[in-house]
Amino acid sequence: MIWVNQEFETVLGWSVEQLREHNLMVELYPDPEYRQQVTDTIQQADRNWRDFKTRTRLGQVIDTTWANIKLSDGSSIGIGQDISDRKKIVLALEETNRELQHLANLDGLTQIANRRGFDEHLQREWNRLTREAAPLSLLLCDIDHFKLYNDTYGHIAGDQCLRQIARAIAETLKRSADLVSRYGGEEFAVILPNTVAAGATQVAELIQARVQQLQIDHGRSPIAPYITVSIGIATTIPVQQVLPDALVALADEALYQAKAQGRNAYRLYSL
């Protein structure tokens, strides 16, 4: 290193006179392992920009990007830029995008996953469990005689009922990979990865018990004086040749059977 420009001095704090008494790479990259990584990368990436964490003379670590230009006489010129502000903007945009993605997959009324969130999570778990040859269970939960409830108590009470049911179902789930979503209207879906039929049945029983504990009055229900739910359960080991829609169809069929046999019940359809 025999020369640095004014921008180098301004950003990193080192003048050419000071650098003659110090090892530039040691000062900019004090960690030996990281310094070797930087050196190797710059030498191998002629004219290509690479990003590194660089230390200034005052000890501040900033984001920089460097390119190494090799000259015909065998020497080289290093060109660098301070990209700290750019990095901050990128990180802020990434956080904003994550938040927007979260909101896009969220049901505004119940604050659980919406149908889009359900579809994405089911496909993701289907793909993962296909590779692992592990079981996947799905529950479809339907609030019994919800139209009668809305007609009797009004839509504001109906919305509150939906929020309470969503919260009750969510409280029964203990694992991060489990997901409850509002599937549509008064229907909720529960995705249970790595769960066999017996485990899914247990979750269904817990959901029904939790909903009954709420004791939400439903004076016009022909089956109980309070809100109840019917649940269809389907379990399978995903395979690449089958779409996750097949599991949804089986859970829907099991839900139909639960409702046809009197509601406030669950039925299991297992493959």
Sign of the Cα torsion 245, 247, 249, 255 reads: negative
3-state secondary structure of 6: helix
Q: Any idea which residue has 């066999």 for tokens?
A: 196
Backbone angles phi and psi of 142, in degrees to 5: -125, 130
Q: Cα torsion for 202, 249, 121, 131, to the nearest 10°?
A: 90
In the residue annotation, 17 being an active-site residue is answered as no
Q: Distance between CA atoms of 61 and 186, rounded to whole angstroms?
A: 53
Q: Which of 27, 125, 186, 187 is catalytic?
A: 186
What one-character DSSP code corresponds to residue 264?
S
Q: Are 45 and 68 in contact (CB under 8 A)?
A: yes
Q: Which residues 6+ apart lie within 8 Å of 269 measured at CB? A: 232, 233, 234, 235, 250, 251, 253, 254, 257
Q: Distance between CA atoms of 115 and 162, rounded to whole angstroms?
A: 15
**Active site residues per annotation:** 186
